[in-house]
Amino acid sequence: MIQLYDAKIVDCILHFVGNKSQDIDYKASMSEIPLDEDLNFVLTNYFFKPFVKKEDNYSFYHDSDLAMNEIFVYASHIFDSRSNFVEESKKILKHLYNSSTHPKIKTGELYIAYFTDCLMDGQYIDAIGIFKSEHKDTFIRITKHGASYGIESQRGVNINKLDKGCIIYNTQRESGYVVSVVDNSNSGEAKYWTNDFLHVKSLNDSYNQTQGIIKLSKSFIQTLPTDSVSEKAVLINKTLQTLVSNKVSLKEISDKVFETSEQKNDFIQYSKHYQKEHDVNFEDDFVPSPSVIKKKKSELKRITTLHLDDNFDICIRGCEGFFEQGYDTLRGQKFYKLYFDKEK
**Are residues 195 and 211 located together in one domain of the fold?**
no
Rounded Cα distance between 34 and 57, Å, is 31
Q: What pLDDT does 191 receive?
A: 81
**Are residues 187 and 44 located together in one domain of the fold?**
yes
**Are residues 181 and 236 located together in one domain of the fold?**
no
**Are residues 176 and 215 located together in one domain of the fold?**
no
Rounded Cα distance between 246 and 259, Å, is 23
Q: Minimal CA–CA distance to 42: which of 108, 113, 110?
A: 113
Q: Whole-model pTM? A: 0.76
Rounded Cα distance between 280 and 74, Å, is 27
**Are residues 214 and 230 located together in one domain of the fold?**
yes
**Are residues 58 and 6 located together in one domain of the fold?**
yes
Q: What does the radius of gyration of the chain's CA atoms come to, in whole angstroms?
A: 26
Which H helix or E strand runs over 168? strand 164-169
| Nearby residues of 123 by Cβ (< 8 Å), 6 or more positions away | none
Rounded Cα distance between 137 and 158, Å, is 6
Rounded Cα distance between 58 and 202, Å, is 4
Q: What pLDDT does 146 receive?
A: 87
Q: What pLDDT does 186 receive?
A: 65
Domain presence at residue 344: no
Residue numbers of the domain that contains 156: 2-203
**Are residues 194 and 309 located together in one domain of the fold?**
no
Domain presence at residue 343: no
- Nearest 5°: the CA angle 168, 56, 287 is 120
Answer with the one of 154, 180, 203 that is the final residue of a domain: 203
What are the φ/ψ torsions at residue 5 (nearest 5 degrees)?
-65, -35
Q: What is the pLDDT along the chain (344 residues), one digit of tens a residue?
A: 688 889 999 999 999 999 998 999 999 999 999 999 999 999 999 999 999 888 889 999 998 999 999 999 999 999 999 999 999 999 999 999 999 888 889 999 999 999 999 998 889 999 999 999 998 898 888 988 888 999 998 898 888 889 999 999 999 999 999 999 999 876 556 588 999 999 999 887 888 888 888 889 989 998 888 767 777 777 888 888 888 877 888 999 999 999 899 999 999 999 999 988 887 888 878 888 877 777 766 665 555 677 788 878 877 665 556 777 788 888 888 888 888 888 77
Q: How many C-beta atoms surround the C-beta of residue 66 within 10 A?
A: 17
**Cβ(114)–Cβ(128) under 8 Å?**
yes
**Are residues 73 and 195 located together in one domain of the fold?**
yes
**Cβ(133)–Cβ(109) under 8 Å?**
yes
| Nearby residues of 102 by Cβ (< 8 Å), 6 or more positions away | 21, 188, 189, 190, 192
DSSP characters for 240-259? HHHHSSS-B-HHHHHHHH--
59 burial (CB, 10 Å; 0-12 / 13-18 / 19+) is buried
Rounded Cα distance between 254 and 284, Å, is 13
DSSP characters for 314-330? EE-SS-TTSEEEEEETT
**Are residues 125 and 27 located together in one domain of the fold?**
yes
**Are residues 89 and 175 located together in one domain of the fold?**
yes
Q: What pLDDT does 127 receive?
A: 97
Answer with the one of 203, 226, 250 that is the final residue of a domain: 203
Rounded Cα distance between 90 and 28, Å, is 6
**Cβ(232)–Cβ(226) under 8 Å?**
yes
Q: What is the DSSP letter of 5?
A: T
**Are residues 164 and 233 located together in one domain of the fold?**
no
**Cβ(13)–Cβ(96) under 8 Å?**
no
The residue type of 151 is I
Answer with the one of 203, 218, 245 that is the final residue of a domain: 203
**Are residues 212 and 188 located together in one domain of the fold?**
no
Indicate the number of domains in the chain.
Answer: 2
